[in-house]
Structure 1
Amino acid sequence: MRPSRGTAALLIGACAVGGLAGCTRDSVEPTPAPTVSSSPTATPSPTPTPTTPPEAIAPERPAAMDEISVAGAEAAATYFMQLYPYAYATGDLTEWRNLSDPECVFCNSVVLNVEEQVAAGHSSTGSRMDVHEVFAWEISVGRYGATVNATEGPSMELDASGELVSQRLTPETNELTYALAHDGTAWRVLEVGVEPAS
């Protein structure tokens, strides 16, 4: 091992104090170099960090949902649609339930499907939603209609061992028609109809 700069300075200082005779070859016994026995250790390969798919990241709640207005209805409809792939990818139905009216048939069917998927140990990937157009209108005080034109990306369902259960290879563009209400505290999705976009 190469001595450090500090070690070398101490050795020089010792020779200066003891005189040159004290640092001659005859008076210094050679110190054998230490034997270091070590077996070569393999450098572990870095473990790749798994990438979280986009659909497994909770969508951000739009600030416009705080409004009881057409803009608020549009934001609520879009946000609800973005929660769809997230619920399937994660099994997390918290926000989906918060926005769903208890009588909403479409909303309840998604809850049932996700719960069955989780119980079976299955998982889903894909179903990314790309919004092309959203339009809302006021029906009466606190009640709104909205349409969302969006394309749902390809998706796969896998079992607990990672084997393919089902898949949809082609994107689907649909028009979703919403009935929404705001009760003064929060938005509720009353019903959703889904039709292939013309």
Structure 2
Amino acid sequence: MFRTRACSAVPVSVRVGAAGLAAVLVLGGCSGSGNPEAEAAQGSSSASPRGSASSGETATPAGTPVPTAVYKPATAAGPAENVPLPVMPELAKEKSKEGLEAFAEYWFSLVNYGYETGDTSLVKELSGPECELCEAFYVAIEKGYEGENWVQGGTLSIVALGTKFVETPKGRYQVILSIKSAPGNDRGPNGLIYREHTPSKDSFAQIMEATYMEGRWVVDLVEGI
């Protein structure tokens, strides 16, 4: 469940599905635009597609260049292929205002990586046990990729974000984000659609709280405001 100021909490059912979780992440049950109250730096963090950090061509031991695998987004016919793996920027490892903002963008790129691949392990590595939305995300992705099922779309884009970088009494630091989600479907073989998700065109405000420990950021909370 996720607490909000303007609308009721959004429950996550056993069969919420990964595309449906995008509605939870941006409070799809609410309406209206969300402009972060903190200083918001314009930008987009639509998850960089998963895959190798390199691109272009690679060379065989014999020196013959061969093209690398090409990224293909999910379609009605099947899941995404060769999704590029997001790479954490060095800045996101720093305990600083800029470092926290870079980390928030990276964390959401890992969420999108989960939508496209079914792999939530990287989000788990950077999230603590108190993050309820994170737990809901793991369950939703697991359901969305059961058997031969997959997720099409539903990824998130950061419209703006910012932080005052002031430590809370719990030792956390907060980031305010404005987020949009893409339409998505939880799909199965033979054209089966378990759930359709068409989010509002408006963005929604989210708050992330993270703690810096042992040289890295860890997410403790993400919820709507």
- How much does 1:140 deviate? 2.4
Structure 2: stretches of 5+ with no match in the other structure = 1-68, 75-79
RMSD of Structure 2 on Structure 1 (CA) = 2.4
- Bigger relative CO (Cα 8 Å, ≥ 6 apart): 2
TM-score by length of 2: 0.58
TM-score by length of 1: 0.65
Corresponding residue to 1:149 among 163, 172, 178:
178
1:131 aligns with 2:158: yes
Q: Looking at secondary structure, tell me which structure has more helix per residue.
A: 1
Distance 2:211 2:156 in 1: 23
Corresponding residue to 1:53 among 73, 76, 79:
73
Cα shift readout 1:115-160 (whole Å, capped 9, x = no counterpart)? 1222343211112333221101323296310011121111111013
- How much does 1:62 deviate? 2.4
1:111 aligns with 2:138: yes
Distance 1:126 1:80 in 2: 18
Pair 1:147–1:184, CA change in 2 (3 A): same
Q: Percent identity?
A: 22
Cα shift readout 1:17-52 (whole Å, capped 9, x = no counterpart)? xxxxxxxxxxxxxxxxxxxxxxxxxxxxxxxx9851
- How much does 1:184 deviate? 2.8
Contact 1:145 1:180 in 2 (8 A): yes
Distance 1:130 1:88 in 2: 13
Distance 2:121 2:179 in 1: 23
Distance 2:96 2:70 in 1: 41
Contact 2:163 2:175 in 1 (8 A): yes
- How much does 1:88 deviate? 1.9
Contact 1:70 1:144 in 2 (8 A): no
* Secondary structure, aligned partner of 2:177: strand
- How much does 1:170 deviate? 4.2
Which of structures 1 and 2 has the bigger CA Rg? Answer: 1
Corresponding residue to 1:166 among 190, 195, 209:
195
Distance 2:194 2:176 in 1: 32
Q: Give the counterpart letter for 1:186 in structure 2.
A: R
* Secondary structure, aligned partner of 2:87: coil
Structure 1: stretches of 5+ with no match in the other structure = 1-48
Identify the range of structure 1 (111-120 vs 64-73) with the bigger mean alpha-carbon deviation: 111-120
